[in-house]
Amino acid sequence: MEPVLQDREFPRELPELTNEEIRRYSRHLLLPEIGVAGQRRLKAARVLVVGTGGLGAPLLLYLAAAGVGTLGIVDFDFVEESNLQRQVIHGTRDVGRPKVASAQDRIKSINPYCQVIPYNTMLTSANALEILKEYDVVADGTDNYQTRYLVNDACVLLGIPNVYGSIFQFEGQASVFYAKQGPCYRCLYPEPPPPGLVPSCAEGGVVGVLPGMIGTIQANEVIKLIVGSGTNSSNQSAGLAGRLLLFDAWKMQFRELRIDKDPACPICGANPTIHELIDYEQFCGLKKEEKPVEIIEPEELKARLDAGDALQIIDIREPHERAIVKFPQAKPIPLGQMARRIDEFDPRVDAVFICKIGQRSVFAIRALREAGYTGRLLNLRDGVHGWAQKVDSSFPVY
């Protein structure tokens, strides 16, 4: 059985297992594919998990339980109540704590033999190479395109395998990107989607069990990379390198796509043009020069409504969101219908746009501008969340 991470890429001496560890990992030791040698490799391994959210939670729980000796965790966020529906590494009492601190405590409660190295920081082009170079495998549990491209490029430049996962609503993806032996993330997705086209989980939602399923698939791939996944009887890779696994939790269906290495890939192709980390926010179109969107504070909107000012309140949220809470005096116009319904707006009257957290409404305003609308357009700061925090505490926050 030929390991994916060759011994020359795994140079450190393999530690012996104590009697306590033999008891703990006995079910692994009974598997010929892992055995004592594989468990010793797990104990010696250093794995970095980027993100301790929906995907990072099961990744960390199962890698710790499996006996990975060192787990690095990168996250700069804090635990929120809305995380608990799926981010099972955190508990109710952890709300308000840094996610890396909460995750570290949970990992140590599962496996005291696991060393945890927390990085309570945002992964950026300035620090990614310095952090990632200390690890054998990186598992990407992020939820945005700029960090996915950053992780991919850093892994390619350092020669480290990148175990990828992503989730949205009921659908998930998983693969292994290892440029030494196959394609990288850029071979699959050469360019990011336009900004705002793909909502985040915070805006589009996600069924709670989905990250558990995709995250454990990622954990499985990490373990196989370390102990050696070998090949199956058809002489095809038993791992996900070169394959994109697609899962639909609603239909309970798996599909699979082949991914070929792109000879023209700008970072792992025959003649690469990327030799260092770049500005990934700019690459993903997040730094476009745009006319600033005018903001209206929740308190100001409340005062204008109380004064009886003529306003067009436009709620761009989807019907299932408005079923959670309706905004007073708002007219529903979904984001995708904005430009073609321009005739329903009166340019003589200020239009105020409402969404969940004040992000999607920015794209609605820009869509109207591009369609030629000349009236005044205002974005409610922080959307219905801002209204609940600053004006009406009876508003549910979702």
3-state secondary structure 114-153: CEEEEECCCCCCCCHHHHHCCCCEEEECCCCHHHHHHHHH
Amino acid making up residue 292: P
Note the residue count of the chain. Answer: 398
Closest CA to 245 of 222, 221, 276, 277: 221
Structure-token match 């970072």, residue found: 267
Closest CA to 66 of 5, 135, 104, 113: 113
Are the C-beta atoms of residues 359 and 320 closer than 8 Å to each other? Answer: no
Helical residues (DSSP H) of the chain, grouped into ranges: 19-24, 26-29, 35-44, 56-66, 99-110, 128-132, 145-158, 185-188, 201-204, 210-227, 280-283, 298-306, 319-322, 360-370, 383-390
State the Cα angle at 169 between 281 and 397, rounded to 5°: 85
Q: What are phi and psi of 257, to 5 degrees?
A: -120, 140
The tokens of 62 are what? 């199962």
Structure-token match 């590494």, residue found: 89
Out of 114, 187, 284, 355, the active site residue is 355
The helix or strand, by DSSP H or E, that contains position 163, with its residue range, turns out to be strand 162-168
323 vs 335: CA distance, rounded Å: 17
Q: 187 catalytic, yes or no?
A: no
Are the C-beta atoms of residues 250 and 170 closer than 8 Å to each other? Answer: yes
Q: 184 catalytic, yes or no?
A: no
379 vs 364: CA distance, rounded Å: 9
Q: What is the pairing mode between strands 70-74 and 115-119?
A: parallel
16 vs 36: CA distance, rounded Å: 9
Out of 114, 201, 268, 284, the active site residue is 201
Q: Which residues are catalytic?
A: 201, 355
